[in-house]
A and B are shown apart, each in its own frame.
Chain A
């Protein structure tokens, strides 16, 4: 009989882990709380740096799941640690005994309304990165004007901010902002697009090219200063206040659309599941790996593995690579004589 492995979370990390484990000859059981697979990526439009349609990524992962037991709209009731493995009780009444469990619980997007000074949910012209991706995918959004003059992107909303309860860098927002800025410029060539950043962290392959292109080909303005507050003018536009720290002067600018780059927080469900098996979390709330250099996908508990953004903010390619790594770690763990 093939060994069962429970994978918690059906985002791209969970899907890739399940697919890889299936290919390695195991019997993966994928548990997803929502009604669809693909997680956050499923609601994204295109991915940097090659503008790959996110739907293609999700579809190709899905195509490899034939043979994987998938439970949708299913939560974790509880997990017990057994002497050699885990007993996982699902909300649909199914109970599974597995030698290994992989947590692929992912992240939660920071609730932009919590930074009230930016006016998300208060002003009509403030949206988030996720709202914009949905609009790109064709879902109408009346907050986005038909002919904006000025469009602003605010980096680090709910990231690197002790007041928002998250001191970590969310890693992908700088690149996402540049990607979305380019896409907006393509849609509205006459608009001026501004990115308000504290530091630009463009660390990956081809990212710097993307940045250069945004500057050279699209004329996107990069302004080094964090937005302090947003108010509404009498004619319904947004007045954005920041300091242009490079010239050392406060700037005020009218905007027709402001996009908040909401950061990544650990999925709150992850902490409660992890606590059932006494796996710890870092101060940031993300789950604690056995080792941050050589054991990122392993937990401090035997037979419990991590894949993807549950241990920290990650890009899509990093998540996929880590999911494969997790699958391999599970494989080695189960093969090892005990």
Chain B
């Protein structure tokens, strides 16, 4: 029961409580997202990173950690640079489109 005495929300992620439904859906449609090595190439090359902090690396990670991704996606222009530089060959544009599509 919440008596409203809570301090600032904990910065720790309780993985047990994270809703992974969106991630599961993305993983089903794009199994290659499991191969991300978090190199950050996609974030560095992103045309929208300047405006909204867009990063496919963080997108994949944040969805698994239950963090909000709507802000970073708000400026994605689907230009495809992230797809071009990904060393794992992940089809990032499809990941982004699927993420927007099944986002609730």
Report A's interface with B, CB cutoff 8 A. Answer: 117, 156, 160-164, 198-199, 224-229, 241-245, 248, 250-251
Contacts and interface: CB of A to CB of B under 8 A. Distances in A.
Contacts of A156: 87
Nearest to B61: A248
B37 A198 contact: yes
A162 B89 contact: yes
Contact of B87 (A160, A242, A243, A244): A160
Nearest to A162: B89
Contacts of B84: 163
A198 B44 contact: no
B45 A198 contact: no
A161 B37 CA distance: 11
Given A242-B40, A250-B44, A226 B49 contact: no
Contacts of B58: 248
B39 A225 contact: yes
Contacts of B57: 243, 245
A226 B41 contact: yes
B95 interface: no
A226 B87 contact: yes
A248 B46 CA distance: 13
Interface residues of B, number: 20
A319 to B, nearest CB: 26
Contact of A228 (B37, B38, B85, B89): B85
B24 interface: no
Contacts of A251: 44
Contacts of B38: 245
B85 A242 contact: no
A278 to B, nearest CB: 31
A162 B58 CA distance: 21
Interface in B7-62: 37-46, 49, 55, 57-58
B88 interface: yes
A242 B39 CA distance: 9
A101 B89 CA distance: 38
B86 interface: yes
A160 B38 CA distance: 13
Given A241-B45, A248-B58, A250-B46, A225 B40 contact: yes
Nearest to A197: B39
Contact of A226 (B39, B46, B55, B89): B39
B60 to A, nearest CB: 12
Contacts of B44: 225-229, 241-243, 250-251
A66 B43 CA distance: 57
21 contacts: A156-B87, A162-B87, A162-B89, A163-B86, A224-B40, A225-B39, A226-B39, A226-B40, A226-B41, A226-B87, A227-B41, A228-B85, A229-B44, A242-B44, A243-B57, A245-B38, A245-B39, A248-B55, A248-B58, A250-B40, A250-B49
Contacts of A242: 40-41, 44
B45 A228 contact: yes
A201 to B, nearest CB: 12
Nearest to A229: B45
A222 to B, nearest CB: 14
Nearest to B40: A243
Contacts of A226: 39-41, 44, 87
Contacts of A199: 37
